[in-house]
Every structure is written in C-alpha cells, then in structure tokens.
Amino acid sequence: MLRRDVPDTTSSPAATSLETPRLLLRRWHSDDLDGFAAVNAQPEVMRYIHDGRTLDRAATAERLATYQRHWDEHGFGLYAVEIKETGELAGFTGLAVPTFLPEILPAVEIGWRLGRAYWGRGLATEAAQSVVAHARAALGLRRLVSIHVLGNEASARVMVKLGMTLERETVQPDTGRQVRVYAMDL
C-alpha cells in the first residue's frame, strides 16, 4: 500500500468529535472565542508558540477562522478540547498541515495547546493519543510529525509518550527559532 503522509479525505471523512475518559474533542463553536482567547493571552502558554507573543481576541478570532478553513480544505483539523466534567474549554489538540516548516512537507502534524490551569494532568497526552488512533484507523495516515521550539520539554515528553522519535533539528524560517521535529509511523 502507498504510504500516505496527507490523507485522501474524499474517501474517509474525519470524525467531528472524539471522546476520551475525561475529554471531548470537538469542532469549534462560535462561543469558544472568549475561552480560547484567554488561553492565547497567557504568556506561559504562548512562550513556545510561533514567535512567543500572546494573541489578543481579534488575533484569536483569525486563528479560529483559519482552523475552520483547514477542516473544510483537508477534512481534518484541530479539535477544541473540552473537559467533560465541567464543560470548560481547555485548549486544542489535533492535526494540521505544518506549512510554517516547508522543508518537511508533505506532512501532517499533531499538535496541542492547553491553558496553564490544565497542565500537569496528562490531558495533552490523553487527547493526543485519541487523535493518533483516529489518524491511523479512520484517516489512513501512515506518518505523523510533531514540532516544538527548543526548550519546550513538556511538549517533547508528550511526543515521546506517543511513541515519536526525534527526526531532526532545524530553524523555523519565519521566526528564526530552533525547532525539533519528532515523527512516528502509524
């Protein structure tokens, strides 16, 4: 069988929601903007994201629109992560095409971003494991990558827990930041 780095979503549509014991991973709702803007406004959360700057409400709205377009174009994307017990929006986990790092394309990246209050509980790993299983079973992906800015050891630990291994170190062209690319065959 031909290895597929980017799925053919015309034959296998992505699930619009996934569940884990503690989490609901779902498509974004219009009322998620304020909760996600609060996550993106946290300096600790954004320290290792893109250029390290926080995002205001308007920039967060633009990101959410980009996430919706990605779902429409590719048939998969970043899920809003909701805590089942409380209904709180914790952040996101999901799949995206990492166009910000052209040297590794074609590829599909698994990524996550959770608000500071949700760190240290295994939620990123729990959500990411569900996305990996879905990528393998429903999307037919054969490979995933994950990328972190040098120094973001918490994300590196999640990557290793998922079974990923370090593939390369490189520089993100638009920010000049050093990044590590982890990968796994599915």
Out of 6-10, 33-37, 68-72, 79-83, least confident range: 6-10
Domain 17-185, CATH class in plain words: alpha beta
> Mean pLDDT over residues 151-163, rounded?
97
Query: pLDDT (tens digit, 9 = 90+) per residue, 91-143?
Result: 999 999 999 999 999 999 999 999 999 999 999 999 999 999 999 999 989 99
Q: Running DSSP on this structure, what letter comes out for residue 9?
A: T
Let me know: does 69 contact 83? Beta carbons within 8 Å.
Answer: no
List CB contacts of 51: < 8 A, sequence separation 6 or more.
Answer: 175, 177
pLDDT confidence of residue 78: 98
Listed residue (147, 138, 71) closest to 107, CA to CA: 147
Listed residue (105, 94, 76) closest to 15, CA to CA: 76
> Mean pLDDT over residues 47-59, rounded?
97
Is the model's pLDDT at 40 over the cut of 70? Answer: yes
Phi then psi for residue 25, to 5 deg, are -100, 120
Q: How many helices (H) and strands (E) does the chain have?
A: 5, 8
State whether residue 3 is helix, strand or coil.
coil
pLDDT confidence of residue 4: 40
**Residue 16 pLDDT grade (very low, low, confident, very high; cuts 50, 70, 90):** confident
pLDDT confidence of residue 10: 36
**Which residue carries 């996600």 as its tokens?**
36
**Two tokens at 179?**
């990044």
> Mean pLDDT over residues 30-43, rounded?
97
pLDDT confidence of residue 9: 38
Is the model's pLDDT at 2 over the cut of 50? Answer: no
> Mean pLDDT over residues 55-62, rounded?
98
pLDDT confidence of residue 104: 97
Query: pLDDT (tens digit, 9 = 90+) per residue, 59-105?
Result: 999 999 999 999 999 999 999 999 999 999 999 999 999 999 999 99
Transcribe 109-163 into DSSP letters. Answer: EEEEEE-GGGTTSSHHHHHHHHHHHHHHHTS---EEEEEEETT-HHHHHHHHHTT
**Which residue carries 């996430």 as its tokens?**
67
Is the model's pLDDT at 8 over the cut of 60? Answer: no
Could you tell me whether strands 23-26 and 78-83 are parallel, antiparallel, or unpaired per DSSP bridges?
antiparallel
- CA distances to 30, 166, 172 from 98, rounded to whole Å, are 24, 17, 11
